Chains A and B, each alone.
Chain A
Amino acid sequence: MILRKIFTSVILSVLVALMAGCTSQGQDQEKSQPSEQTTPLEKSWEEISSTAKGKTVSLYMWGGSDSINRYIDEWVAPRLKEQSGVTLKRVPVNDTKDVINQLLTEKKAGKTNGSVDIIWLNGENFKIAKENQLLFGSIAPKLPNVQDYVAMGAPDLQYDFGIDTEGMEVPWGKAQYVFIYDSKHVAEPPKTIDELKDWIKQNPGKFTYPAPPDFTGSAFLRHVLFETSGGYEDFLKPFDQQIMDEKSQAAWAYLNEIKPDLWRKGETYPESLAKLDLLYSQGEVWMTMGYDAARASNEIKKGTFPESTRTFVLDKGTLANAHYLSISFNSAQPDAAMVAINYLLSPEAQIAKFDPRHWGEDMVLEPSKLSTEEQQQINSIDRGVATLPAEALAKHKIPEIHADYVDYLEKEWKTNVAKD
């Protein structure tokens, strides 16, 4: 009985304490909200940099690559600290959606001094973040390095999977679709989707693509759609089912035409890019593809792809997308976060990122806006025999289209192509 009494009184006191905590916390927040209104978006860059000194910011980013992690921890963080006094703390994330969910709840609960300062995101996550006002604001015009080196108006940077960034996120790196081929078997790589068809007919069984909705296979469909319907421009407009039904007819005709000459006569498709790569590395097919321009070189280095592997892009361009950095709506240190993002976009940080010893990823800076020494430095970086020069890639870029089209293509492919 004594036990029971003690137990009840403990529970009651805990409950009372919790409730007291709840109300006082709520009042604190209401009080502190108006004073937070001084926004760095109205300050000058000098003011922002001086406020930022000595602050610590957290960068929430996907943590699944040791070389990317090392680039941030060992290359960026010490230099940023030395140059601007800002400490950069990397927080490993499994899926950026989790961070978006965290911010959604924080928004609902009215949390003002959030710990998520900088987020690495694009596509769907940016869409949700923008729609729910989880982002700090239009930061791009404030950052000197963005103004000096980034072509913000370019369609592949301005639109993140069809959604206007409005400067709320700043591009950090780029990915571009390339076709990978074995130069031992393919003397002259095709330059258009039509030439690809001719090549497939001359070399039956030596080409296939991953079955959509695989990310890479789905992108192959978009390339076919663009070239058979007369360009990507029409698909930057809002989705229209009727127009799409008409425009996609040529694409389905094309895909059905090449089908009998695909690997295994098109009766089956590799289920993922990894499977297609495996077929390629074993010589069963002579082409593969993917969103990483430097991947072919890396695979040669690892010994998985044959030495004679090379890459090509289409004359009319291949899909390119960018990934971005943004600041959360409730960042406790927006000034320091802006300084950190600005540094990540500096020529030295971007050139180091471009170097395959650190990361090997495409820069977002315009090569022509850099100094001659910096350009020489870029040219001297060996990106591997199979990687196309940066200018060649930059000249053949087309933007991603809205997610509605992507869904439509993936669904219709099943009825129009996969079924007999």
Chain B
Amino acid sequence: MKLSIIKFLVVLGILFFLAPLVLTSLSAGWRWPMLWPAEISWRSWEYLFSGQSQTGIAVFNSLLIACGVTIVNLGLAIPAAYGLIRFPLKGKLIVQIILFAPLVIPPFVSLMGIHFTFIRLGLTESLPGLILAHLTPTLPYMIWALLSSYRTVGPEWEEQARMLGANGLQRMIHVVIPFLLPGILAGSSLSILVSLSQYLITFLIGGGQVITLPILLFPFISGGDPALGAAYALLFIGMAFLALFILDCLLKWSYRRVN
């Protein structure tokens, strides 16, 4: 009973913040001091769904990159966090500082160098290049989330499995990973969300040739077309929710299979 009231309030709160976006996306000339838009216009949604607006390919690219980024992140962060927790390492602090540096240092600092290097490597204007470039702002979140999950797995669990004859891979899959699931979920969610919202990295490394949703969205927001900005923002929110929902289902399903 109590839980459903909280749920209800949360949904109400979300709708409260979404309502102005919906109204703005449908309005034509909504200015202070009018309480409601004077006229309803479908202009922004018509444009958004028109064949020329590249909305479909943008959503597809955004999701594809976010998925790719998250998979690579998992591949890098699971061993990295494991190493940081389990092995005595000289200068561990320095390694941690380097791994978490992108959280503190503005991405623009490294972006120019990455862009330069990627041009030499022929990685610009391609999906693999973008996935690699999106690792910079997302990997620290993944490592951070996994580090805290690893702290919940005592080495005793692994020792026991080892004594029962499980090899390294089996211990990883059957013993360690189930403990990590909450961290994987948190890290993947952050990695997806941060990747979805990248503008400058995508524009520079993608060279404008890979269209993602922020590439379409940003000009409308800063260019003063609130109706189209709002319509694209709603689409963005929908896309992010969908991605997180699928991720959640996927992880729950795999958790059940492992056990």
Contact = CB atoms under 8 A, between A and B. Distances in A.
B122 A70 contact: no
Contact of A278 (B32, B50, B168, B215): B32
Interface residues of A, number: 43
A64 B222 contact: yes
A80 B219 CA distance: 25
B119 A111 contact: yes
Contacts of A243: none
B106 to A, nearest CB: 15
A98 B53 CA distance: 21
A64 B225 CA distance: 7
Contacts of A91: 208-209, 211
A95 B215 CA distance: 11
A116 interface: yes
A70 B47 contact: yes
A72 B220 CA distance: 16
B204 A64 contact: no
Contacts of B225: 64-66
A116 B222 CA distance: 22
Nearest to B79: A7
A116 B125 CA distance: 11
B116 interface: yes
Nearest to B115: A105
B75 to A, nearest CB: 9
A115 B120 contact: no
B83 A4 contact: yes
A62 B31 contact: no
A187 interface: no
Given A64-B222, A64-B225, A102-B204, A303 B29 contact: yes
B244 interface: no
B220 A64 contact: yes
Given A58-B209, A111-B124, A304-B29, 12 more contacts: A3-B168, A63-B216, A64-B223, A69-B47, A69-B53, A70-B50, A74-B52, A93-B219, A94-B223, A95-B222, A98-B204, A109-B120
A109 B119 CA distance: 7
B105 interface: no
Nearest to B214: A94
Nearest to A102: B204
A92 B215 contact: yes
A73 B82 contact: no
24 contacts: A3-B79, A3-B168, A18-B121, A25-B120, A25-B121, A26-B120, A58-B209, A60-B208, A63-B216, A64-B224, A65-B223, A66-B43, A93-B219, A98-B204, A101-B204, A102-B207, A105-B115, A105-B119, A106-B119, A109-B116, A278-B31, A278-B32, A303-B29, A304-B29
A2 B228 CA distance: 54
A22 B120 CA distance: 6
B122 A21 contact: yes
A392 B121 CA distance: 55
Contacts of A237: none
Contacts of B207: 102, 115-116
A2 B200 CA distance: 39
Interface string A84-97: 00000001111100
Contacts of B216: 63, 92
B203 interface: yes
A278 B31 CA distance: 9
A26 B44 CA distance: 46
A99 interface: yes
B28 interface: yes
Nearest to B125: A115
A108 interface: yes
